Amino acid sequence: DTAVSQTPKYLVTQMGNDKSIKCEQNLGHDTMYWYKQDSKKFLKIMFSYNNKELIINETVPNRFSPKSPDKAHLNLHINSLELGDSAVYFCASSNRQGNYGYTFGSGTRLTVV
Amino acid sequence: QKEVEQDPGPLSVPEGAIVSLNCTYSNSAFQYFMWYRQYSRKGPELLMYTYSSGNKEDGRFTAQVDKSSKYISLFIRDSQPSDSATYLCAMSASGTYKYIFGTGTRLKVLA
């Protein structure tokens, strides 16, 4: 029944490791996003895909690589994790331009130690 | 200067009060405006969306956009303790696919 689901919910890992976060939506939306929320609650867009095509790629280190196998799935792989990558990562989906709002997942809390 | 400014709060009000939450912005191209509510350790959930200027009402919530002043507001009538959350504004220019979020205002409604 969940509209946008992310796994895992929590991720604790050591510096230098590689990790992945998965996202799936069952709303029939054609656009998906990754947002990063820092400790001050600031939500910043990282990437957006429309029908498997990358349409937004903000200034994000290339250690972060998104992948969209189909329009219902958007994954995020992070290489060589750093302490500063600790944050909550939210997946979201919407219609093409998001004019009717985004539906967010419940977030993945990443802690790098 | 950030593109979207929002007072972080916390804003504490008694139950039943009218709450006013505000955002200012600098980009005159913004045309789509949204308000999200985020409970602790949860994802943001959409409350209201509006296009261009004007008011929109949904139950106890009213969203206002004043493009001439680059100012948007969310009013909550008859506030309840369950309204205690962080409220985020977000806005976008046409065709950009990208919403810029404010930093959120933490609201506490005291029973």
* Interface residues on A facing B, Cβ-Cβ cutoff 8 A: 4, 31, 35, 40-45, 48, 50, 55-56, 90, 92, 96-107, 109
Closest-CA distance of chain B to residue A11, Å? 14
Cis peptide bond prior to B10, omega within 30° of 0: yes
Banded model confidence at residue B103, pLDDT cuts 50, 70, 90: very high
**Cα angle B17-B22-B28, degrees, rounded to a multiple of 5:** 155
Banded model confidence at residue A55, pLDDT cuts 50, 70, 90: confident
> Where are the extended beta strands (E) located within A16-72?
19-25, 31-37, 43-50, 53-57, 64-70
Set of chain B residues whose Cβ sits within 8 Å of the Cβ of A97: 92, 94-97
A7 - beta bridge partners? A22
Banded model confidence at residue A26, pLDDT cuts 50, 70, 90: very high
**CB neighbour burial string for A57-78, b if at least 16 within 10 angstroms, e if fewer:** eeebeeebebebeebbbbbbeb
Which one of B38, B44, B92 has the shortest CB-CB distance to A98? B92
Chain A contact for B49 (CB, 8 A cutoff): yes
CB A91 within 8 A of CB A45: no
Query: Which H helix or E strand runs over B96?
Result: none
Query: How do strand B19-25 and strand B4-6 relate by DSSP bridges?
Result: antiparallel
Set of chain B residues whose Cβ sits within 8 Å of the Cβ of A55: 97
Which one of B90, B97, B103 has the shortest CB-CB distance to A41? B103
Banded model confidence at residue B6, pLDDT cuts 50, 70, 90: very high
CA-wise closest residue to B21 among B37, B2, B32? B37
pLDDT at B21: 97
DSSP B8-62: ---EEEETT--EEEEEEE--TTEEEEEEEEE-TTS--EEEEEEESSEEEEETTEE
Cα distance between residue A37 and residue A90, in whole Å? 7
Please write the tens of the pLDDT for every residue from B41-86.
Answer: 999 999 999 988 888 999 999 999 999 999 999 999 999 999 999 9
| Contacts (Cβ under 8 Å, ≥6 apart) of A62 | none
